């Protein structure tokens, strides 16, 4: 089995971006200009916009986009006057961020780093962390929550998009239950080979204890939550939630 699964996921996502992956398509100039005029929304999960009241005052706010490359959210925050830093392990996702920043003439700090390692930032650096669905590419999420807590200022906000594991139990048609939870290809050779063959990257299911429990264990106070669907497919057609988003605050 591949030892450095995060490196493998990075190259897999680069490939998906080249193939037109939905979460690797940067926003247009028109969308950027609308955001400058106060008309905007961003996603943590596939379909539901994040409530505006979840955010801090964005003018001059220090924002970290954690595994949030792709030119979809950071340009919006920059248009609103925030000072943005984006950390991602995909070169292609970071390239999109640089491209949009150049096109729209704003500054952004791009950092290529593996979020399973300590984040390369000082304590209490950010007012808000925006972390869309992405920790499904990481085996152990608790260290990430602890690092988020460390780099946020007191009173800082963590907005996270999370997978609830349901997607991992079904086949690709979303009609037959084929897998057990937890879904962990690093502990199942056959599953690993299926993931490689299907170009899924190495993904992991996470329990509510790991996701919300992990945030609480790191010291966060949960202030709000919503559920979301895949946006398409059988589970979506039956309105089965497969994702959720959380708002938590550093006490």
Query: Does 94 score more than 80 pLDDT?
Result: yes
Consecutive H or E run containing 32? helix 29-36
Which pLDDT belongs to residue 3? 61
Residue 35 lies in a domain: yes
Average pLDDT, the chain: 97
Residue 94 lies in a domain: yes
Over residues 25-52, mean pLDDT? 98
Query: Does 2 score more than 80 pLDDT?
Result: no
Residue 12 lies in a domain: yes
Residue 248: helix, strand or coil by DSSP? Answer: strand
| Cα separation, 156 vs 23, whole angstroms | 26
| Cα separation, 220 vs 22, whole angstroms | 31
Q: In total, how many domains does the chain have?
A: 1
Q: Return the ∠ at Cα 96 (arms to 248 and 206), rounded to 5°.
A: 35
Over residues 55-75, mean pLDDT? 98
Over residues 118-135, mean pLDDT? 99
Q: Return the ∠ at Cα 247 (arms to 100 and 205), rounded to 5°.
A: 85
Residue 100 has a CB neighbour count (10 Å cut-off) of 22
Over residues 132-148, mean pLDDT? 98
For the stretch 146-161, pLDDT in tens is: 999 999 999 999 999 9
CATH of the domain at 236: 3.40.50.150
Over residues 205-220, mean pLDDT? 99
Residue 15 lies in a domain: yes
Residue 187 lies in a domain: no
For the stretch 173-204, pLDDT in tens is: 999 999 999 999 999 999 999 999 999 999 99
For the stretch 239-249, pLDDT in tens is: 999 999 999 99
Residue 183 lies in a domain: no
Over residues 203-221, mean pLDDT? 99
Residue 196 lies in a domain: no
Residue 194 lies in a domain: no
| Cα separation, 140 vs 187, whole angstroms | 13
Give the range of the structural domain holding residue 136, as residue numbers without chain letter: 5-164+204-250
pTM (2 d.p.): 0.97
Q: What is the dihedral of CA 235, 16, 48, 26, to 10 degrees?
A: -160
């Amino acid at each position: 089995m591949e030892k450095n699964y995060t490196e493998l996921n990075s190259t897999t996502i680069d490939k998906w971006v080249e193939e037109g992956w939905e979460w690797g398509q940067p926003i247009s100039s028109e969308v950027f200009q609308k955001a400058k005029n106060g008309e905007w929304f961003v996603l943590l999960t596939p379909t539901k916009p994040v409530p505006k009241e979840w955010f801090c005052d964005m003018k001059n706010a220090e924002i970290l986009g954690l595994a949030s490359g792709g030119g979809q959210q950071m340009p919006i925050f920059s248009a609103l006057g925030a000072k943005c830093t984006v950390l991602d392990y995909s070169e292609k996702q970071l390239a999109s961020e640089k491209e949009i920043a150049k096109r729209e003439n704003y500054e952004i700090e791009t950092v290529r780093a593996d979020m399973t390692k300590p984040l390369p930032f000082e304590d209490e650096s950010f007012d808000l962390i925006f972390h869309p669905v992405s920790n499904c590419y990481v085996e152990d999420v608790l260290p990430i929550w602890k690092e988020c807590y460390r780099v946020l200022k007191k009173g800082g906000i963590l907005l996270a998009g999370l997978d609830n594991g349901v997607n991992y139990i079904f086949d690709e048609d979303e009609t037959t239950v084929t897998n057990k939870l937890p879904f962990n290809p690093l502990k199942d050779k056959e599953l690993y080979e299926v993931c490689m063959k299907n170009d899924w990257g190495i993904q992991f299911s996470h329990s509510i204890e790991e996701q919300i429990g992990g945030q609480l264990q790191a010291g966060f106070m949960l202030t709000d939550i919503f559920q979301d669907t895949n946006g398409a497919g059988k589970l979506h057609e039956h309105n089965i939630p497969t994702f959720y988003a959380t708002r938590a605050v550093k006490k």
